[in-house]
């Protein structure tokens, strides 16, 4: 199994520069579904932000989808993010644009320029999440679960080797949460895509068991209880 994420002796900092996770090790393999759990403020979101280069990696080494996090600059961060699918709790959809226009915006921003190819890709990812019929809908016309499916479709646009999901069910009811987790798990299997899912919803851990990494006291602890440094 090849590693999509590999951190070694890494310190993770918060937006104010203070260190929240110290000297950690983390590996995630191709196609692996992993939960990241921990209390609010424990460092889950800071770790994810480091992986998609919103926060710098100041100490240690880190490679994500073949990119060295120590070598990432503002000029080439878009190249890394083209290799990542990012799913947020709050959807972050452009509210003044249709579902289709939201997805086209991302394709243009990540270097696509052939309109026919872009239209085809939008149709493919919307079909995968069961929303092709909502292509022309505005975000406010969609339920919370449908909006999150659009977000997942957006994450799939560039066939990423990994999806980073930050509390993807945080604003959803239990039944809709289960639908979203089922979709993510199925897509991960179908495409051999790794998923790192930060969550505080312990119910979904029981319903959809997978590898668990706990964030606790500035460390990462795997689900078998051993510290990842």
Domain boundaries, the chain: 1-83+160-229, 94-158
> Which of 78, 138, 89, 141 is closest to 111 using CA atoms?
78
Rounded-to-integer distance, Cα 201 and Cα 212, Å = 12
Rounded-to-integer distance, Cα 89 and Cα 36, Å = 14
DSSP classification of residue 87 = E
In percent, the amount of the chain with pLDDT more than 90 equals: 69
Rounded-to-integer distance, Cα 183 and Cα 186, Å = 5
Q: pLDDT tens-digit profile of 156-177? A: 999 999 999 998 888 889 998 9
Which tops the pLDDT comparison, 140 or 58? Answer: 140
Write down the mean pLDDT value for the chain: 91
Angle at 149 between CA 192 and CA 6, to 5 degrees: 35
pLDDT at 229 over 70: no
pLDDT at 117 over 50: yes
Return the pLDDT at 106: 92
CATH code that applies to domain 1-83+160-229:
3.40.50.300
Provide φ and ψ at 12, rounded to 5°: -110, 125
Rounded-to-integer distance, Cα 185 and Cα 193, Å = 9
Confidence of residue 225 (pLDDT cuts 50, 70, 90): very low
Which tops the pLDDT comparison, 201 or 89? Answer: 201
Return the pLDDT at 226: 45
pLDDT at 1 over 70: no
> Which of 69, 32, 8, 63 is closest to 196 using CA atoms?
32
Confidence of residue 99 (pLDDT cuts 50, 70, 90): very high
Q: What is the pTM of this model?
A: 0.90
Return the pLDDT at 76: 85
Rounded-to-integer distance, Cα 9 and Cα 152, Å = 31
**How many H-runs (helices) and E-runs (strands) does the chain carry?**
7, 10
Min mean pLDDT across 53-67, 80-94, 111-125, 182-196 is at: 80-94
Rounded-to-integer distance, Cα 59 and Cα 39, Å = 24
pLDDT at 107 over 80: yes
Rounded-to-integer distance, Cα 55 and Cα 116, Å = 35
Q: pLDDT tens-digit profile of 185-218? A: 998 898 899 999 999 888 999 989 999 999 999 9
Rounded-to-integer distance, Cα 43 and Cα 55, Å = 12
pLDDT at 227 over 70: no
pLDDT at 75 over 80: yes
């Amino acid at each position: 199994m090849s590693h999509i994420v590999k951190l070694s002796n890494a310190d993770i900092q918060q937006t104010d520069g203070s260190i929240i996770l110290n000297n950690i090790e983390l590996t995630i393999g191709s196609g692996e579904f992993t939960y990241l759990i921990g209390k609010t403020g424990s460092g889950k979101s800071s770790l994810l932000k480091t992986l998609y280069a919103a926060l710098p990696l100041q100490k240690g080494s880190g490679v994500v989808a073949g990119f060295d996090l120590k070598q990432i600059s503002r000029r080439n961060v878009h190249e890394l993010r083209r290799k990542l699918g990012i799913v947020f709790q709050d959807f972050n959809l452009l509210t003044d644009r249709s579902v289709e226009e939201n997805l086209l915006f991302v394709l243009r921003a990540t270097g696509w320029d052939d309109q026919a190819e872009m239209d085809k890709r939008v149709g493919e990812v919307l079909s995968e999440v069961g929303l092709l019929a909502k292509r022309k809908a505005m975000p406010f016309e969609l339920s919370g679960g449908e909006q999150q499916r659009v977000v997942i479709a957006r994450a799939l646009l560039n066939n990423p080797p990994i999806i980073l999901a930050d509390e993807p069910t945080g604003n959803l009811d239990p039944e809709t949460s289960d639908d979203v987790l089922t979709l993510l798990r199925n897509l991960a299997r179908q495409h051999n895509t790794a998923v790192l899912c930060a969550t505080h919803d312990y119910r979904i851990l029981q319903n959809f068991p997978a590898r668990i990494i706990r964030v606790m006291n500035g460390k990462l602890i795997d689900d078998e209880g051993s510290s990842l440094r």
